[in-house]
Chains A and B, each alone.
Chain A
Amino acid sequence: AQKITQTQPGMFVQEKEAVTLDCTYDTSDQSYGLFWYKQPSSGEMIFLIYQGSYDEQNATEGRYSLNFQKARKSANLVISASQLGDSAMYFCAMSTNNAGNMLTFGGGTRLMVKP
């Protein structure tokens, strides 16, 4: 079975600072993908970044980067230069070949950016 754990229910960060949101995963599959989604207060789910298990480099998308540590089974999201608009819920998710590439979500982390 696959499992995603986000241990930080809520976090504060000062505007313009960087912040790391933690995500650990558990799977016995060798081929899997890791995803981060953002959910602002308006409710929609916005895809942010993807990391494949065989990707040698950490994924980056603008101010978002994924700190992928395969041996530790962690896939932390790093947001650089936080902005007020980054205040939202953030969900880590995983898909594995053995589970038919269906997404399993963590419980989420609420990030609050302080001005």
Chain B
Amino acid sequence: DADVTQTPRNRITKTGKRIMLECSQTKGHDRMYWYRQDPGLGLRLIYYSFDVKDINKGEISDGYSVSRQAQAKFSLSLESAIPNQTALYFCATQGVAGAKRTEAFFGQGTRLTVV
């Protein structure tokens, strides 16, 4: 099983619908992130959480909300989806700050299409 699992892997939804993307991890990491990738572009940070009670907005949080249900679970919601939220979404985890190596571990990604 993957260390970081995203569900669903693909989703097509209609404009105005509410949709939730889920992420779970078995790495035991405190930190979890949601990124968005648009075609041909890099990753942009939507929200991040350093622990269950610490949730912060990233550079493009408008139109999104998150919930950290447990150390292992971090969900991203689009309250009212719009077409320009069509993108590839990644969840990632990261080890505790101060560790020598702080690479992020990514889920497989969720391809979301809003029609």
B-binding residues in A (CB < 8 A): 33, 35, 37, 43-45, 47, 50, 52, 91, 93, 95, 97, 100-103, 105-108, 110
The answer to whether A45 and B50 have CB atoms under 8 Å apart is no
| A101 CA / B101 CA spacing, docked (Å) | 10
Q: Which residues of B contact A100 (CB under 8 A)?
A: 50, 97
Known contacts: A44-B108, A103-B94. The answer to whether A33 contacts B102 by CB under 8 A is yes
The answer to whether B108 and A91 have CB atoms under 8 Å apart is no
- Other CB < 8 Å A-B pairs besides A103-B103, A108-B42, 17 of them? A35-B103, A44-B106, A45-B92, A45-B109, A47-B103, A47-B105, A50-B103, A91-B43, A101-B94, A101-B102, A102-B33, A103-B94, A103-B102, A105-B42, A107-B41, A107-B42, A108-B41
Q: Indicate whether B90 reaches chain A with its CB closer than 8 angstroms.
A: yes
Distance from A94 Cβ to chain B, minimum over Cβ atoms (Å): 10
A-binding residues in B (CB < 8 A): 33, 40-43, 45, 48, 50, 88, 90, 92, 94, 97-98, 100-106, 108-109, 111
Known contacts: A33-B102, A43-B88, A108-B41. The answer to whether A102 contacts B108 by CB under 8 A is no
Chief secondary structure at chain A's binding surface: strand
Count chain A CB atoms within 10 A of each CB in B33, B94, B102 and give the residue with the most.
B102
Distance from A61 Cβ to chain B, minimum over Cβ atoms (Å): 12
| Residue of chain B at shortest CB distance from A91 | B42
| Residue of chain A at shortest CB distance from B45 | A102
| A100 CA / B42 CA spacing, docked (Å) | 20
| A47 CA / B42 CA spacing, docked (Å) | 15
Known contacts: A33-B101, A50-B101, A100-B97. The answer to whether A105 contacts B106 by CB under 8 A is no
| A102 CA / B49 CA spacing, docked (Å) | 11
| A105 CA / B33 CA spacing, docked (Å) | 13
